[in-house]
A and B are shown apart, each in its own frame.
Chain A
Amino acid sequence: MSNARPLVLVADDDEDILQLVVLRLGRSGYDVISATDGEAAVELAKARCPDLMVIDVAMPRVDGLEITRILRARDETASIPILLLTARTRDVDVELGLSAGADDYVTKPFSPELLAQRVAALLQIAAQKAQPVQALRAVAWQ
Chain B
Amino acid sequence: MELKIRKTAEIYVIDINGEMDLYNSYKLKDLVVKMLEKGMKSLIINLEQVDYIDSSGIGALIYICSMMKKMNLRLLIVNVRGSVKRVIELTKLTEYFPIADTIEDAIHTMAGV
Q: Do A and B bind each other?
A: no
